[in-house]
Amino acid sequence: MSLFAGVSGGAADAASGGGTGRALLELTPHKMAVCQLVQVFAPPAQAGGDVVPPFPFESLAHHNRLGLFLFTLTRSCEDFLEPPLEEFLRQLKAVDNLANGWFCEQLTSSLSALNSPDDLFNFFDKLRGVLTAPEGASAEDVFLDPNSQLGVFLRCCILAFNSMTFEGVCHLLADLVMYCNSTDASYDLAEDEGFNSEMGNLMDADIDSQVGIFDKFHQGYASERHMGESSSALTRAPTSTYDFDDANIFKADDNPTCLRSRWQLEAYLNQQADILEKDPGSVPLNSFNATMTQLQTLAPELHRVQFLQYLNALCHDDYVASLDNLHRYFDYSAGMQGLFGRSVSQVQDIVVGKYESALLCLGNLHCYFGHPKKALEAFAEAVRVSQMNNDDSCLAYVLGAISNLLSKIGISNTVGIISSPYSLGTNIGLGTPLSIQQQLLVLLKRSLKRADALKLPSLLSFDHLSLAKFDLKHVQRPLVSFGPNASTKLRTCPADVIKNLRLGSRVLTDFGADVLSTSNDNGSFSTSWLRNLSAASDSWRRSSKNTKKLHINDFDNFHYHAQPSPVPAPILQLAGSAYLLRATAWEHYGSAPMVRMNALVYATCFADAARWEFHSELSLAYVKLIQQLAVFKGYSAAFCALKLAEKKFPSSTSLHIQLLGMQILHERALHRGHLKVAQQICDEFGVLSSSVSGVDIELKTEFSVRRARTLLAAKQFSQAAAVASSLFSTCYKYNMQVENASILLLLAEIHKKSDNAVLALPYALASQSFCKSFNLDLLEASATLTLAELWLALGSSHAKKALSLVYQSLPMILGHGGLELRTRAHIILAKCHLSDPKFSVLEDPEAVLDPLNQATEDLQALEYHEMAAEAYYLKAMAYNHLGKLDEREEAAARFKDHVTALENPQNEEDSLAY
Amino acid sequence: MAYAKETYRAELRAAARQLGERCLYSAAKWAAELLVGVEPDASPVPSAAMDTPSSSSATSAGRLLHLHRSGGSSFRHRPRPGGGTSSEAGTPLGGVSYVSTPIPDDDAFDSGGDKYLLAKTYFDCREYRRAAHVLQKQVGRKAVFLRCYALYMAGEKRKEAEMIELEGSLGKSNAVNQELVALEKELSTHRRTGSIDSFGLYLYGIVLRDKGCEDLARMILVESVNSYPWNWSAWSELQSLCTSSDILNNLNLKNNWMKDFFLASAYLELKMHEEALKRYERLMGVFRCSGYIQAQIATVQYSMRDLDEAEMKFEDLLRTDPFRVDSMDIYSNLLYAKESLTALSFLAHRVFLTDKYHPESCCIIANYYSLKGQHEKSVLYFQRALKLNRKYLSAWTLMGHEYVELKNTPAAIDAYRRAVDINPRDFRAWYGLGQIYEMMGMPFYALHYFRKSSYLQPNDARLWIAMAQCYESDPLQMIEEAIKCYERAANSNDTEGIALHRLAKLHGMLGQSEEAAFYYKKDLERMEVEERQGQNFVEALLFLAKHYKSIGRFEEAEHYCTRLLDYTGPEKENAKNMLQGIKRLQSGFPSMDTDHFAL
């Protein structure tokens, strides 16, 4: 689902354009009402040069106010459903109460006076008078410019009327009568009839419950800052009194509502889609479907409704229904309206459709239901089709989905899933099947080339990022290596990664002004303005009662609550994820300051941009920062930060934060020696991942690692070794070499702890070589430390060698290592000295005591009993040698404290709380 | 035997008159046709004292109604009397006892008899509002019914006009019958007070159906047909509301003989062909001359792909009823399938002269153009048919086919999808959707549609083969799934014999030579029966020869090799070599060379 968030948020650029060759607007009673008001605003025959505003207006400001109102009305005239007269009058009152309801009265009386087709003819004839300048008019005269917004609107209306057939005129008249008579019944009565009484009651109940839910939703997220796009702008304006909910679409209830334009309907659908994605539990399956069906009868051309039905079924785990709705949606809309364009263009010329996005969605569906193989088939087909149709944005998403899928699920090397000869194999001209990773690489590189050639900044940046991600974890072997000249360097190339990352984040600078200008004006402004008008007019009216400040320029009331962000969200998102990826890369390469820096950059610079959809990324940045805190500052600091983060991201919505909490708790429990708690948390990890094999690989890996470590702490070496080695074979199967480096190290650790240094040695060495080839510097230092320990364990004669190993790794560890690694290094250093037969404490006490002091200091924060006990033990030994008895006793006492704490764990329950 | 033929006649005669008096033309027509269809006794048929709606206005009014009522998938079949068959005496329907329903006697004119007469003439002239106005203050059941019915028809007429005024294209439109609300209110009051007859109930049912209250509509219609079973329009409305066999089985119907007609037609619609055929054949025993039953039987046979038999039936039908248009589109489909251009053109010409603006006629002409390969014209005529009846299911599907031919995939998808949305049980449209997506290079996506179609029509080998070909296609390469599909196809009477051959080949590719040999052998047998020879035949022989040789059954191997010798080409040489190898092996000289030859 998170993947789809990207999809729906993305490609605002695709939505640009369109809407040029529209048909002339359709005349409705509402438009006639607007026309009537325009006539009041600019009455004909105002020759004479009086600058005073015409009759009903008290002041110029008042006049302008009506003008603004009309301007907005005409801007949002591309309506889907228009408000009934009653509601329109209510809106009008905001402008009207200066004229004591004159407008409303005038409007209703003139509209209801239209009783025959001939009246209509006269009405439009009179309108024409508004546009023509009277005889002898000078430039200062007040008359309507035919090329202004209002003028064009009037002309459109007149033209529409003139080109109408007599039948059309009759229809308009009938509609007008209905419009004027609709005092409390809904204007559009077709759908009111459609439901007989019991059904209607049922619907009402459902809608009521839904309204409740929406209220909750609004309260919960009202504080969210929002930028930009229509959906959030329209529906999450925090100060608005009137919630835009679906009940209003169907029933004219007591709440006055804003214009329900096509945009608002779209926005409504988008909002519903967002809710479905973020919090599917809050949407009841059946009533939502009923609402959607009703909407569909109202708007048969609005196929997005079917998409929402698909989403709804998906969220409620209804496989069959979601599949059906998906296919239906794309059958109808793929030819005309792509998934990515959020606007419905009226131009319905038949073009090659967006069938590739259908496949993308199908793939996501299968992903969601845990059918990775089917998902991959769908994605592979999507790649083929989007290449065929030159749909690069879709291609990008498909590739993203594939790499996401490949990282989430495991596909063993032997199965050639995307090995379809059409997509890849033949182009390389080799008969040998490629591994999944190689295929992914080829796909990415080709996509990159294409994006570069076509100047698609966002796809380019996406590809760079994906390549960086790929380079980070995979050794690039040349696909063809013949002969002696082909030298293969089996190492990853950090320079490549960083290069790609830099290129990837250049998207912001590449994003030129030309793209900016095409950001589509989708009418959200006008509608939001109207909303604010109705919201503001209330307060304005209230204030006007108390203080008679009537001539204030009330423009302040029209603050737009949603300014569009100058840079579209998807671009920002890409730029932001470059920083996140940088943090991850440095995490791998082992540079703590760089990790912190990049995560901080993201958290500070992109937190604003990180809209609702991108919360998971923001939470990831937080996770990285808190992890760093835990490693460098100890648990209490980390938990403080975690609490803050949890406030920001409720754990129900952010899996990242939830996992982080569990991770830190587990670490602390292990350190404190609270094995039961550790086991419990470990089990929770196991539950989180899906039971389908090959899915949630990362989570499963973490679970196994933690299980092995728990077993190790419980001194069940053989079991721990079994878990670790089975994990190793899984990771090997799924080609997860980076993980293997740490697993090998864990295996070495297990064997070391079980006093089997000889057995541990090959593991440690293997781990070291893995680290070298993947440039995992910090992990390599850690492996070197383990090696040193192993040499020490082999006998005191190897102390010298161990010492040199420790010295070798010390710069890296002291520069970038966390608390635990540093203390380990210090302790091992002391141990090396102590076990070296040629070394005498008396000669150089500082060489031992300094590191030990440092270690004990660091361990305070870490609450690591086992290591602390070891450090104090060594300290006591050293003091003993030096003959400092007091210090020795003190160290021994501390040693005893830690040992008892380790052996008799107390307050285990505390470990679960933070 | 519970029912004598004269009883049928008496009932139908009364029904035709009563229905005609209430201006329920198509039902009256149906009853009258059936009346003539009852097998003649020794004595000639007494002339029925009823007025067959013969005026042009009445027929077209009936069609207008029919346009709205056939909410289901297909068109009703209202045959004209089919006389002139000199068949032998029919056997009575055995073992079935029907509940006889007394014929209501309502001929007594109430006070407003004259006004009723006037209203009926207005109605006949399609001046519906005038008819309703005349009957405004009448309280007799008959008058109330006719007034409501006239109002309904007026609303429908206005709705039709509005649809064209408001949109005009083939898309959806929100025009509604403005009278529905008032009618529902009035009819439900009448029902509550018990002052409603079965005709009123029928009207109430269709009003409810139009308003979307299908369950209630079904209940009301059942009530109507139970009290007055001879109203075929009510039955067919009821049938269009029975979209699954579960619904059908849960109807609480009285066991009148009309129920048999209903069930048979419903079974046909639900693709339960065997049951439908059984019932129709039994009904044929009584209504031996009924063109309707004959057409229905032919339709069933066509659906069961019994083309020759069905063609004969249709030809027969046309001979006796040359100006028939109903269900002739099925006949044209049949001719299309048999690719008999001349017959199709003849049929098209005939229906064109009979009634050009009949959806079925347009469909037949479109079929003709399609067979001629003039797909643009074909689409034009399908569009015309759809303009005449927007819910004409098979026209949507066939138009989809034409768009496929024109390579206009989005339009084709749209057409098919509309067909599927009108009737989700239309396997042809699902199949068409699958085909299109496969053509577009999306075999995986297409699988969904093929799965749907084969679920609806599990015994159709073509569907399974299409699905298998998807699985087999280059991008997917899912051989095992393909094999499963081909197996299904082979088990369900695959006339073209694709499945067996592909099965053998695929098994061979997977190295399962035992299975491959089994299927090759079967394929060989099939080809022998059909006396077909060709590359596949040679291939099968060659494989079998090699296979039997490799497992050491030399006699069989020799048999196949000698048969191969009849053919020219490299296979012959191959067979010769193999024969030599076999000889050598049999004579007990195990030599290395034989292997060389064997391969």
B535-582 pLDDT, tens digit each: 788 888 888 888 888 888 888 888 888 888 877 777 778 888 888 888
B7-19 pLDDT, tens digit each: 888 889 999 999 9
A559-568 pLDDT, tens digit each: 333 334 455 6
Residue B536: its pLDDT value, please?
81
Chain A residues within 8 angstroms (CB to CB) of chain B: 165, 167-168, 171, 190, 193-194, 196, 199, 297-298, 300-301, 323, 327-328, 331-332, 334-336, 350-353, 355, 358-359, 362, 374, 377-378, 380-381, 384-385, 388, 420-423
Residue B422: its pLDDT value, please?
86
Interchain CB distance below 8 Å, B445 and A378: yes
Q: Which of B212, B445, B475 is the closest to A422 by Cβ? A: B475
DSSP string, A366-411: HHHTT-HHHHHHHHHHHHHHHHHTT-HHHHHHHHHHHHHHHHHS--
Residue ranges in A262-371 assigned as alpha helix (H) = 262-278, 285-298, 304-315, 319-333, 355-368
The stretch A803-819 carries a mean pLDDT of 88
- Exposure string for A261-293, b = 16+ CB within 10 A, e = fewer: bbbbbbbbbbbbbbbbbbbbebbbeebbbbbbe
Q: Nearest-CA residue of chain B relative to A168?
A: B165
Of A153-167, B79-93, B106-120, B241-255, minimum mean pLDDT range: B79-93
Residue A686: its pLDDT value, please?
85
B268-304 pLDDT, tens digit each: 888 888 999 999 999 988 888 889 999 999 999 998 8
Whether the per-residue pLDDT at A58 is higher than 60: the answer is yes
When pLDDT is cut at 50, 70 and 90, the band that residue B231 belongs to is: very high
Interchain CB distance below 8 Å, A331 and B414: yes
Residue with the two structure tokens 């899915």: A695
The stretch A318-337 carries a mean pLDDT of 79
Residue B589: its pLDDT value, please?
53
A329-376 pLDDT, tens digit each: 888 876 554 333 333 333 333 333 477 888 888 888 888 787 777 888
> Strand ranges (DSSP E) for B240-394?
none
Q: How far is B182 from chain A (nearest CA, A)?
A: 11
Q: CA A386: distance to chain centroid?
A: 24
Whether the per-residue pLDDT at B28 is higher than 90: the answer is yes
The stretch B181-186 carries a mean pLDDT of 91
The residue ranking higher by pLDDT, B219 or B1, is B219
Whether the per-residue pLDDT at A10 is higher than 50: the answer is no
Contacts of A331 in chain B (CB under 8 A): 413-414, 416-417, 433
Residue A652: its pLDDT value, please?
61
Residue A141: its pLDDT value, please?
52
Q: Nearest-CA residue of chain A relative to B443?
A: A381
Taking the C-alpha atoms of residue B504 and residue B518, their distance in angstroms, rounded to an integer, is 8
Residue A249: its pLDDT value, please?
39
Q: Collect all residues with Cβ–Cβ distance below 8 Å to A201 and sequence separation of at least 6.
A: none
Contacts of A351 in chain B (CB under 8 A): 410
Q: Nearest-CA residue of chain B relative to A420?
A: B475
Residue B57: its pLDDT value, please?
38
Residue A547: its pLDDT value, please?
36
Q: How far is B160 from chain A (nearest CA, A)?
A: 13
Interface test with A, best of B396, B404, B420, B437 (most A CBs within 10 A): B437
Interface test with B, best of A169, A198, A327, A376 (most B CBs within 10 A): A327
Q: What is the dihedral of CA B561, B566, B571, B574, to 10 degrees?
A: 50
Residue B446: its pLDDT value, please?
92
Contacts of B163 in chain A (CB under 8 A): none
| B98 and chain A in contact, CB less than 8 A | no
Contacts of B212 in chain A (CB under 8 A): 194
Taking the C-alpha atoms of residue A170 and residue A176, their distance in angstroms, rounded to an integer, is 10
Name all contacts of A322-331 with Cβ < 8 Å and 24+ positions apart. Answer: A322/A365, A323/A365, A323/B448, A326/A358, A326/A361, A326/A362, A326/A365, A327/A358, A327/B448, A327/B449, A328/B417, A328/B421, A329/A303, A329/A304, A330/A354, A330/A355, A330/A357, A330/A358, A330/A361, A331/B413, A331/B414, A331/B416, A331/B417, A331/B433
Q: Which of B171, B445, B477 is the closest to A359 by Cβ? A: B445
Percentage of residues in chain A with pLDDT exceeding 70? Answer: 63
Residue A521: its pLDDT value, please?
38
Interchain CB distance below 8 Å, A378 and B444: yes
A169-212 pLDDT, tens digit each: 888 888 888 888 875 443 333 333 333 333 334 333 333 433 33
The stretch B244-248 carries a mean pLDDT of 86
Of A112-121, A295-304, A311-320, B93-102, minimum mean pLDDT range: B93-102
B487-513 pLDDT, tens digit each: 888 888 777 778 888 888 888 888 888
Whether the per-residue pLDDT at A716 is higher than 80: the answer is yes
| B165 and chain A in contact, CB less than 8 A | yes
Residue A738: its pLDDT value, please?
81
Interface test with B, best of A310, A331, A374 (most B CBs within 10 A): A331
When pLDDT is cut at 50, 70 and 90, the band that residue B42 belongs to is: low
Q: Nearest-CA residue of chain B relative to A300?
A: B172
Whether the per-residue pLDDT at A649 is higher than 90: the answer is no
Q: Average pLDDT, whole number, for chain B?
A: 81
The stretch A876-900 carries a mean pLDDT of 87
When pLDDT is cut at 50, 70 and 90, the band that residue A32 belongs to is: confident
A576-621 pLDDT, tens digit each: 788 888 888 888 888 888 888 888 888 877 765 445 555 677 788 8
Interchain CB distance below 8 Å, A378 and B211: no
Q: Which of A171, A334, A385 is the closest to B441 by Cβ? A: A385
Interchain CB distance below 8 Å, A350 and B441: no
| B127 and chain A in contact, CB less than 8 A | no
Of A490-504, B225-239, B459-473, minimum mean pLDDT range: A490-504
Interface test with B, best of A350, A371, A381 (most B CBs within 10 A): A381
Residue B549: its pLDDT value, please?
84
Residue B174: its pLDDT value, please?
62
Q: Nearest-CA residue of chain A relative to B216?
A: A196
Contacts of A188 in chain B (CB under 8 A): none
Given a contact cutoff of 8 angstroms between Cβ atoms, the answer to whether B411 and B403 are in contact is: yes
Residue A551: its pLDDT value, please?
36
| B421 and chain A in contact, CB less than 8 A | yes
Q: Average pLDDT, whole number, for chain A?
A: 70
Residue A489: its pLDDT value, please?
60
Whether the per-residue pLDDT at B189 is higher than 50: the answer is yes
Residue A763: its pLDDT value, please?
92
Q: CA B557: distance to chain centroid?
A: 49
Whether the per-residue pLDDT at A139 is higher than 80: the answer is no
| B211 and chain A in contact, CB less than 8 A | yes
Q: Which of residues 455-494 of B touch A (CB under 8 A)?
A: 474-477
Contacts of A28 in chain B (CB under 8 A): none
DSSP H or E run through A261: strand A260-261
User: Which tokens sit at A545?
Assistant: 């009662």
Contacts of B440 in chain A (CB under 8 A): 355, 385
| B442 and chain A in contact, CB less than 8 A | yes
Interchain CB distance below 8 Å, A420 and B477: yes
Q: CA A813: distance to chain centroid?
A: 35
Q: How far is A377 from chain B (nearest CA, A)?
A: 7
Percentage of residues in chain A with pLDDT exceeding 90? Answer: 3
Residue B223: its pLDDT value, please?
92
Interchain CB distance below 8 Å, A385 and B476: no
Q: Which of B414, B442, B449 is the closest to A335 by Cβ? A: B414
Contacts of B165 in chain A (CB under 8 A): 165, 167-168, 171
Q: Across the A/B interface, how many CB contacts are shorter than 8 Å? A: 87
Residue B60: its pLDDT value, please?
38
Q: How far is A333 from chain B (nearest CA, A)?
A: 9
Q: How far is B485 from chain A (nearest CA, A)?
A: 18
Interchain CB distance below 8 Å, A381 and B445: yes
| B182 and chain A in contact, CB less than 8 A | no
Of A656-670, B98-112, B471-485, minimum mean pLDDT range: B98-112
The stretch A376-395 carries a mean pLDDT of 80
Whether the per-residue pLDDT at B200 is higher than 80: the answer is yes
Whether the per-residue pLDDT at A854 is higher than 60: the answer is yes
Whether the per-residue pLDDT at B337 is higher than 50: the answer is yes
Q: Which of B165, B409, B475 is the closest to A167 by Cβ? A: B165
Whether the per-residue pLDDT at B167 is higher than 50: the answer is yes
Distances from the Cα of A217 to the Cαs of A213, A279, A282, A646, in angstroms?
A: 6, 10, 9, 18
- Model pTM? 0.64
Given a contact cutoff of 8 angstroms between Cβ atoms, the answer to whether B299 and B307 are in contact is: no
| Helix B291-303 × helix B258-269 angle, to 10° | 30
When pLDDT is cut at 50, 70 and 90, the band that residue B203 belongs to is: very high
Residue with the two structure tokens 């796009």: A229
When pLDDT is cut at 50, 70 and 90, the band that residue A264 belongs to is: low
DSSP H or E run through B284: helix B273-284
Residue A142: its pLDDT value, please?
54
Interchain CB distance below 8 Å, A381 and B475: yes
Q: How far is B361 from chain A (nearest CA, A)?
A: 29
Q: Which of A165, A168, A355 is the closest to B442 by Cβ? A: A355
Count of other CB atoms within 10 angstroms of residue A571: 22
Q: How far is B165 from chain A (nearest CA, A)?
A: 7
- Please say whether the dihedral angle defined by the alpha carbons of residues B447, B453, B456 and B462, taken in this order, is positive or negative: negative
Taking the C-alpha atoms of residue A82 and residue A32, their distance in angstroms, rounded to an integer, is 12
When pLDDT is cut at 50, 70 and 90, the band that residue B387 belongs to is: confident
Interchain CB distance below 8 Å, A328 and B421: yes
Interchain CB distance below 8 Å, B414 and A358: no
